[in-house]
Amino acid sequence: MATLAQAHGGPDASYHGERGHWEIVYTITRDASILDRANWDAVLRMLNNAGTGWAIETSGHWAVGHIQFIVVDPAGEYRNLPEQIRADLEAYPVLDEELHSDMETVATLDLWDAMSMRERVELLRDQGYSIFTAKCSAGNLYDYNQDAYYYIQLLATE
């Protein structure tokens, strides 16, 4: 597994903190997908947001704004976590299915709520869905028109 010092190696990056030898468990950027954010939160839940031997480090980056790293002390109680997470993600890309689903639902409903009536009607018409769905509240969208709901979910989670 990579360390913070290794991740910051190269001509345009360097690490000057005290945790350069700590191993990276998971990273996330400012524009991370819902899947990446769900996995980030799942790792934090594994760590119980308490205890010692792990930390969150943040670095600025010209292309992605910032990168956050969950790192663990290679001599600490979480020393096996980087390998466990890597193996889990190789087997299946979602660490917590329920958390990921909840985050997708929130993003879908937030997008629907943020759309104006005109935007909703145009989108529904362009996709061949009933424009009467546009009057539906976010909380009733799934029950009213599942196809439209899944299309909005696709847009919200891209």
pTM over 0.95? The answer is no
For the segment 11-39, the average pLDDT, to the nearest whole number, is: 89
- CA–CA separation, 56 vs 49, rounded Å? 11
Shared-domain flag, residues 19 and 58? yes
Same domain, 89 and 110: no
Average pLDDT, the chain: 91
Is the Cβ–Cβ distance between 77 and 53 less than 8 Å? yes
Tokens 């839940």 sit at which residue? 45
The answer on 58 and 17 residing in a single domain is: yes
Confidence of residue 56 (pLDDT cuts 50, 70, 90): very high
Do 79 and 118 lie in one domain? The reply is no
Distance CA 28, CA 15 (A): 17
Number of domains within the chain: 2
Q: Does the pLDDT of residue 30 top 90, yes or no?
A: no
Which of the listed residues 78, 95, 112 is the one where a domain comes to its end?
95
d(CA 25, CA 43): 8
Assess whether 33 and 53 both reside in one domain.
yes
43 pLDDT exceeds 90? yes
Position with higher pLDDT, 12 vs 106 = 106
For residue 136, give its domain range: 100-156
Q: Does one domain contain both 19 and 82?
A: yes
* Distance of alpha carbon 49 from alpha carbon 55, whole angstroms: 9
Length of the chain: 158
Locate tokens 């629907």: which residue?
112
